[in-house]
Structures are given as C-alpha cells and as structure tokens.
Chains A and B, each alone.
Chain A
Amino acid sequence: MVTAALLGPAVLAAIDGAVERSDGGVLAAGAWLIVLVPFVAALAITLFGKRLPRHGAELAVAAVGFVALYGTALLLTTLFGDGIVHEGAVKIGEFGGFEIEWAWVVDGLSIMMFFVVGVVSTACFVYAVGYLEGDVRPTAFFASFTLFAGAMLMLVSAANLIQLLIGWELVGVSSYLLIGHYWEQKENSSAGMKAFLVNKIADIGLMIGIIIAGITVGSFTISKIMEKVVESDAALDDVAVIIAVLLFIGAMGKSAQFPFHVWLPDAMAGPTPVSALMHAATMVTAGVYLVARMFPLFEEMAHEALDVALVIGAITLVIAGLLAIVQDDIKRVLAYSTLSQLGYMVAALGAGAYTAGLFHLFTHAFFKSLLFLGAGSVIHAVHSNNMSDMGGLRKDMPRTFWTFMIGSAALAGLPIFSGFFSKDEILAAFREGDHTIVFLLGVATAFITALYMTRAISLTFFGRYKGDGHPHESPSIMVYPMIGLAGAAATAGFINIPGLTDWFYKLVTTRLVPAELLGEHATSFDWTALGLGVLAGVAGIALGYRLYYPDAATQQERDRLYIPGLWPVLENKYYIDDLYMNGIVNPIKGPVARFINWTNSYIIDFVVNVVGFATRSLGWVVYSGIDQRGIDLAINEAGAATGFAGSKLRYIQTGKVQQYAAALFGGAIVLVIGFWISVT
C-alpha cells in the first residue's frame, strides 16, 4: 500500500547530481505518524476528552510531545547522516487523470518545520495546561489546539499542493475556532471571523495558483513541479510568474503581509497559548514556508514575484514595527512585532536569501513564542492585557522577567542571542543583493524593534505597579516551558554562524532540488550590516531607556514620544481597518444588501409564495377530496363492516363443548353426504 518513493533513485540522482542522500529508512517512512497522531488525538479529545481527569489536555500534550520527539529524532538523523530526502505516499484514489494521494515529504525543510512545530507546540501545550486551569471549555480548546498543530504538520509534510491546501485551510478553520474561543464576547468571535475571512480572500489566490500549476505540469506533486523547473520547461515558464504571484498572495494572507495584515493583531482575542503558537510556529509561518517550498520556481522562473515579495515584506516590516510602539495591549505589541519580523522573513526570501529567511523563521519561532508565553504569564498575574495596568513586576515575577528579557534580547538582535545571527544574515542578504533602501528600512526597523521592546519591558516590569491586587509568579507548569524556550532563544543562533557552523544551511538545502537553486551560505560576517544592525538595536534600547525608564512619576506620561501628525495615524493603524470597513465592506454591504433585500422581497419571495400557494391548494384538494373522502372512507367502512360482522358472529361461540362437537359431527356428515353425491 505504501509506495516507497514517488521518484526512483535514478531520477533522484539525476536531479541532485553527485550528492548522496539517504532515504531515511524506517524513520522517514513512518513520518506519516507525525501528521496522523495529532489528528487522532484531536478526534479522541473531542469524543472522550470530557471524561478524562484533565479534560483532554493529557492527550494533546502527549500528541505534540510525540511530534517533538519524532521531529528531534529526524533532525539529529539528518544532521549527523547523509541528509534525508524521502517521499512516501498512500494512494487514495483517481480522479480523471489526477491521482489523489496522501503523500508526505521528509527533507531538510520539512524536518526543520516538524522540529519547530513539535518543540514550540509542546512548550505552548504544557503552558496551556496551567494557563487554562479552570477555563470554561478546556476540552474544546485542546481539541482545536491539537487540530491546529496537526493541520500545520499536514501542511508542512505535504508532498503535493492539494494536500498543502487542505492543511492550509484546516489551519484557517482551527485558528478561527481558537481565536473565537471566548465567543461570549462579540469582539472575540468577530476577530475569529475577521481572521478567517481575510485569510479566505488570500486563499483564493493560492487556490487559483495551485490549479494553474497543477494543470500546466500535469501533476500537483511538488517534486514533479520542481523537476519541470530544473528542466526549464517552456510551458511552465510561460505561466510561472502568474503562479508565483498567486501563491504569494496566499502566503501574504497566512503570513499576514501588508495589506492582509489586519487580521493578526485582532487574533490576540484568543487565549495566550494560541497567540504564542500561532505567531511562532504554526499559522503565520505557513506563508513563509510555502514560498520557501516553492522557492526554486520563484528564483528560476518568476523573479518578478520575488521582487513583489521583497517590496511587500519591506513595507510590512516598517509599518508594523511603527505600530508596535503605540500599543497599550502587551499582546498587540508582540503581534505587530510578529508582523514586522514576518516582513523580514518575506523580504529575505524576496531578496533571494532562502536560508536567511528560514533561519529567521527558526529563531523567531523560539523567541516569539517565549515572549508570548511571558506576556501570558503577566496577564495571568494581573488579569489585564494593558500595560497601563502593569509595571514593577520585576520583583514579583522574577522568572517571567528574566525569560522575557532573554526573548526581548533575541528579538532586538543583541549579540550572541539567536535573533542577532538571523537578523544579521537577512541584513547582509539585503546588502549583497544591492537592495539599499530595503537594507536601510531593515536597519531602521531593528532600531524600532529595540525601542518598542524596551518600552514594553519598562512599562511591564519596571516602575510602579498600576493594577489591582497583588500579582504573583505563575505556576511551574507555565514557567518551565518558558525556561526551555529561553534556552532555545538564547542558543538557536549558534547553528548557523557564518564561517563557523553551517548546520542550518545544510539542513534546509537538503532537498530534492539541487542546492545551487537555494542560495549559498555566507562564509563570513558582513561587518557593515552587522555593525549597523547592532548599533540600531543598542540605539533603540538607549532611546527606549531614556524615554520610558521607570521613575514612577513619568511613567504615566509614557507617550512622550508624541509626534504630531504621525501619532494619530499610528494609533489608528494607518486607517487601514477603517479603509477596509468604509472603503470596501460598507459600500458593498449597503447597496448590495439593499439590492439583495429587494430581490429577496419582490422576486424570490414572490416565486416562493406562488409556489407555496399552489402547493397548499393542491395539498388541500388532495387532503379533503382524495384522502378524507376516498381512502379514509374505504378504510373506515371496511373497519365498520368487520366490526359489525364480529358483533353478530360472536354469539356462535357459546363456550359449550358439546355444541362445538355437534357442529363438528354435523359438518362431517355434510361432507360425507357431499362426497357421496359427487361420487354417484
């Protein structure tokens, strides 16, 4: 049933040249378990979760823990071996000329994603066990949460675009469920719907792109499409730009790139572990993953699409970074920060820096999930999302404080923390590609990033406590995942130091396509980019320190950065939400709604009424004429006749045995006489 590999070894060798690859053996052949286990767990939680002592959380943690272990095992095997490249498939059916199969690809890129999704999910799930203590619907939460992780694993393991689309949409559905977890409040369910609809609009691009790609190549299998790219197939070349741009539109939706970024800050309505997972490993990385997965297509045939990605990424990284400065909700600060960092990743891919973009995805997953968990821990303690209710938590929550500091240092790109290496690599890539403006924007955003994180830390952990009650450190089950992620956030950068280590580069270029198509690994630091990046970060921290540093009196005036003109624009999110509401949603909503209402009342209702009246009349005729007077009469008369006959005939039954016997013998005599007559 399970075919070993879609591509034979011969084709594999032809594509990959001289490089020897391992097929991964049992470990890779069983990688379907990574996808299946979370789905089975989600189903089991839905069915039996309520009866379990922890409402299904134990199943959820076990499922993602299994994924984390499996991902780690695959990661170690591929790093210390030849590098696994494997495609397995189970055929489900045939549909016209297209075969439908559940296929999984196990190569460096997907292993990296398995590892990140598994590890970050495990941290977030364990944390969620503590965070959702006493929640209204823990079972529903853990079922959707596990489905969310499973959908992302389905997406990253997909060997064909149809399956990728299925995972993609499942991620959208489960994110909708999770963002609207506290649906009793209208704004939460609206946020879920907004996320779903914005994603859905972008998904149309993805869907059309996939259809065009599949029809042009004759197969939805990604490796087949990559084969055509390597062969410089003319038919594919003609439509490659369209495909790439459409795929990128889909990626813009999931990865929340301008102008589809509006859903992500609102998605903060969900419980904090959801935000942590969504912003780090699962949902928003899907777009970056898609571009990385299809990167050879972009690089070889659709360079225009990469330019689009570069511009979109650059716009997103700046505008989102600026927005993060003015937010009061700590989760929104982090949400805009995520947007900004995703802008870095997309712009890096756009500049052709495949490894740098993915490396930032990798490090960002750890430090951003850490920051969200830290924010959740603070929110858990002070029962408010607003930084104006926080302050001075340094002493009350030391462990949260220190892990948050590590995450912020990594985000601000301070040396030796993981963000430093990945951000530097991206900045270096901008410079190498002569994208001077984007490079300067990147440096400026590094400054902004450091500024808003200093602001967030100052307002949250320093100064005077402004909220009610007495905050306390979160329980161990929430703190330990943060400590683990802090370790990863501090050290994850060491696996890809230019000139020293190239493990990450080797990992993500272990694919069916030749490594040359995936860019090169920098062999030395770009000291200019590095210096400017660090300088910008330090300057941002210095300015933040100067502006927001914690004397109790001035903290109330934290908007001391007030810049007339710019500030209102930022506080209103560039009026983009208003533009969408007033420019698109309402104009369409009003006339379209009126027109539809008119059509509904005067045309559809008329038809429906006529049909209804006709049906009713016919029914009346059938009822009173045929049913009541015809069928019912016959049945009633038959019944009455039987009853009448019975009422008369019952007197025959006297109960006297001798009368019966006399009738019996009389009958016998009659029969004998009859017989005798008939014989003679």
Chain B
Amino acid sequence: MTIAQFLVLSAALFSIGIYGVLVRRNAVLVLLSVELMLAAVNINFVAFGRYFADATAGGQMFALFIITVAAAEVGIGLAIVLLIFRNRASANIDELDVLKW
C-alpha cells in the first residue's frame, strides 16, 4: 500500500465533505459532512504518522484528539440544531440568515 492511496481516499472523503457542507440544506446533514471532513483529516494524520515512522505516534495522537473534539463539536452542534428546530420547526439552513446586514 503506498501513501498515495491513503491520500487519494482522504482527498475524496474531504471533497465529499465539502460538497455536503456547501450544498445540503438540512443542518444535520451539514454537520455529518463536517464529520466526513474531519475523518479525512484523521486518515491523513494516521497515514503520514505511519509513513514517517514517527516514534512518538504523533499522528495517531492527533487523530484521537480530533475524534474527541469532533464528538464534543457534534454534541454542541446537534444541540443547537435541536433548539433551532424547536423554535422554528425547521432545520433548513437557507432560512437561518439572521446574521446578515
């Protein structure tokens, strides 16, 4: 297995994630797409960690950190989405434009 295969997988996942974030209207799916991007980054970290034979296992450590942060992030994100849904009976991102001028 070459490093290139992992990078291609990672790039593909990341692109799918970006596509999801930019295109999806449902806030839950947007969050899920963000998770996909994070997973792509994790794959990159683990692959490079293995590739450079890092004795301190830094790549794997970072992957674990990202998983932790992602769990926290998705928890908060889903809580926000839930509250928005309760208030407005919709999780459609297009309708959430109160931050504009």
In the complex, are the beta carbons of B97 and A655 less than 8 A apart? yes
Residues of B contacting A658 in the complex (Cβ-Cβ under 8 angstroms): 21-23, 30, 93
In the complex, are the beta carbons of B101 and A665 less than 8 A apart? no
In the complex, are the beta carbons of A654 and B22 less than 8 A apart? no
Report the nearest B residue to A647, measured CB to CB. Answer: B101
Cβ of A662 < 8 Å from any Cβ of B? yes
Cβ of B96 < 8 Å from any Cβ of A? yes
Q: Which residues of chain B have a CB within 8 Å of any CB of chain A? A: 18, 21-23, 30, 93-94, 96-101
In the complex, are the beta carbons of A653 and B101 less than 8 A apart? yes
Residues of A contacting B98 in the complex (Cβ-Cβ under 8 angstroms): 655
Q: List 8 A-B contacts (CB under 8 A).
A: A651-B101, A653-B99, A656-B97, A658-B21, A658-B23, A658-B93, A661-B22, A662-B22
Residues of A contacting B23 in the complex (Cβ-Cβ under 8 angstroms): 658
Report the nearest B residue to A665, measured CB to CB. Answer: B18
Residues of A contacting B94 in the complex (Cβ-Cβ under 8 angstroms): 656
Cα-based distance from A657 to B21 in the complex (angstroms): 10
Cβ of A650 < 8 Å from any Cβ of B? yes
Task: Report the minimum CB–CB distance from B47 to chain A (whole Å).
Answer: 19
In the complex, are the beta carbons of B21 and A654 less than 8 A apart? no
Residues of B contacting A655 in the complex (Cβ-Cβ under 8 angstroms): 96-101
In the complex, are the beta carbons of B100 and A657 less than 8 A apart? no
Residues of B contacting A661 in the complex (Cβ-Cβ under 8 angstroms): 21-22
Task: Report the minimum CB–CB distance from B58 to chain A (whole Å).
Answer: 23
Cα-based distance from A299 to B30 in the complex (angstroms): 114
In the complex, are the beta carbons of B96 and A657 less than 8 A apart? yes
A31-70 with Cβ < 8 A to chain B = none
Residues of A contacting B100 in the complex (Cβ-Cβ under 8 angstroms): 653-656
Extra contacts, 18 of them, besides A657-B99, A661-B21, A662-B22 (Cβ < 8 A), are A651-B101, A653-B99, A653-B100, A654-B100, A655-B96, A655-B97, A655-B98, A655-B101, A656-B94, A656-B97, A656-B100, A657-B96, A658-B21, A658-B22, A658-B23, A658-B30, A658-B93, A661-B22
Residues of A contacting B30 in the complex (Cβ-Cβ under 8 angstroms): 658
Cα-based distance from A661 to B20 in the complex (angstroms): 11
Cα-based distance from A661 to B94 in the complex (angstroms): 13
In the A-B complex, the 10 residue pairs with the smallest Cβ-Cβ separation, listed nearest first, are A655-B100, A655-B97, A650-B101, A655-B99, A653-B101, A662-B22, A654-B100, A658-B22, A656-B97, A653-B100
Cα-based distance from A566 to B26 in the complex (angstroms): 123
Residues of B contacting A665 in the complex (Cβ-Cβ under 8 angstroms): 18, 22
Report the nearest B residue to A669, measured CB to CB. Answer: B18
Task: Report the minimum CB–CB distance from A347 to chain B (whole Å).
Answer: 100
How many A residues touch B, CB cutoff 8 Å? 11
Cα-based distance from A588 to B6 in the complex (angstroms): 113
Cα-based distance from A653 to B99 in the complex (angstroms): 8
Report the nearest A residue to B25, measured CB to CB. Answer: A658
Residues of A contacting B101 in the complex (Cβ-Cβ under 8 angstroms): 650-651, 653, 655
Cα-based distance from A650 to B100 in the complex (angstroms): 9
In the complex, are the beta carbons of A654 and B18 less than 8 A apart? no
Task: Report the minimum CB–CB distance from A153 to chain B (whole Å).
Answer: 78
Residues of B contacting A651 in the complex (Cβ-Cβ under 8 angstroms): 101
Cα-based distance from A93 to B48 in the complex (angstroms): 81
Cα-based distance from A547 to B5 in the complex (angstroms): 143
Task: Report the minimum CB–CB distance from A450 to chain B (whole Å).
Answer: 105
Cα-based distance from A651 to B100 in the complex (angstroms): 8
Task: Report the minimum CB–CB distance from A301 to chain B (whole Å).
Answer: 97
Task: Report the minimum CB–CB distance from A655 to chain B (whole Å).
Answer: 3
Report the nearest B residue to A657, measured CB to CB. Answer: B93
Task: Report the minimum CB–CB distance from B15 to chain A (whole Å).
Answer: 10
Chain A window 637-658, contacts with chain B (Cβ cutoff 8 Å), 1 for yes, 0 for no: 0000000000000110111111
Cα-based distance from A661 to B21 in the complex (angstroms): 8
Report the nearest A residue to B27, measured CB to CB. Answer: A657
Cα-based distance from A656 to B98 in the complex (angstroms): 8
Task: Report the minimum CB–CB distance from A114 to chain B (whole Å).
Answer: 84
Report the nearest A residue to B98, measured CB to CB. Answer: A655
Residues of A contacting B18 in the complex (Cβ-Cβ under 8 angstroms): 665
Residues of A contacting B22 in the complex (Cβ-Cβ under 8 angstroms): 658, 661-662, 665
Residues of A contacting B93 in the complex (Cβ-Cβ under 8 angstroms): 656-658
Task: Report the minimum CB–CB distance from B70 to chain A (whole Å).
Answer: 17
Report the nearest B residue to A652, measured CB to CB. Answer: B101
Residues of B contacting A656 in the complex (Cβ-Cβ under 8 angstroms): 93-94, 97, 100
Cα-based distance from A599 to B38 in the complex (angstroms): 93
Task: Report the minimum CB–CB distance from B92 to chain A (whole Å).
Answer: 11
Report the nearest B residue to A649, measured CB to CB. Answer: B101
Cα-based distance from A657 to B23 in the complex (angstroms): 11
A473-517 with Cβ < 8 A to chain B = none
Report the nearest A residue to B94, measured CB to CB. Answer: A656
The winner among A655, A657, A662 for most chain B CB atoms within 10 A is A657
Residues of B contacting A657 in the complex (Cβ-Cβ under 8 angstroms): 93, 96, 99
Chain A window 649-680, contacts with chain B (Cβ cutoff 8 Å), 1 for yes, 0 for no: 01101111110011001000000000000000
Residues of B contacting A654 in the complex (Cβ-Cβ under 8 angstroms): 97, 100
Cα-based distance from A655 to B93 in the complex (angstroms): 10
Report the nearest B residue to A654, measured CB to CB. Answer: B100
Cα-based distance from A281 to B18 in the complex (angstroms): 102
Task: Report the minimum CB–CB distance from A597 to chain B (whole Å).
Answer: 71
Residues of B contacting A653 in the complex (Cβ-Cβ under 8 angstroms): 99-101
Cα-based distance from A651 to B30 in the complex (angstroms): 25
Residues of B contacting A650 in the complex (Cβ-Cβ under 8 angstroms): 101
Cα-based distance from A657 to B97 in the complex (angstroms): 8
Report the nearest B residue to A646, measured CB to CB. Answer: B101
Residues of A contacting B97 in the complex (Cβ-Cβ under 8 angstroms): 654-656
Residues of B contacting A662 in the complex (Cβ-Cβ under 8 angstroms): 22
Cα-based distance from A665 to B96 in the complex (angstroms): 20
Task: Report the minimum CB–CB distance from A596 to chain B (whole Å).
Answer: 72
Task: Report the minimum CB–CB distance from A505 to chain B (whole Å).
Answer: 102
Cα-based distance from A313 to B8 in the complex (angstroms): 124
Task: Report the minimum CB–CB distance from A190 to chain B (whole Å).
Answer: 76
Report the nearest A residue to B99, measured CB to CB. Answer: A655
Cα-based distance from A657 to B26 in the complex (angstroms): 12
A293-308 with Cβ < 8 A to chain B = none
Cα-based distance from A656 to B30 in the complex (angstroms): 13
Task: Report the minimum CB–CB distance from A110 to chain B (whole Å).
Answer: 86
Cα-based distance from A661 to B24 in the complex (angstroms): 12
Task: Report the minimum CB–CB distance from B37 to chain A (whole Å).
Answer: 10
Task: Report the minimum CB–CB distance from A647 to chain B (whole Å).
Answer: 10
Cα-based distance from A661 to B30 in the complex (angstroms): 11
Task: Report the minimum CB–CB distance from B100 to chain A (whole Å).
Answer: 3
Cα-based distance from A651 to B98 in the complex (angstroms): 14
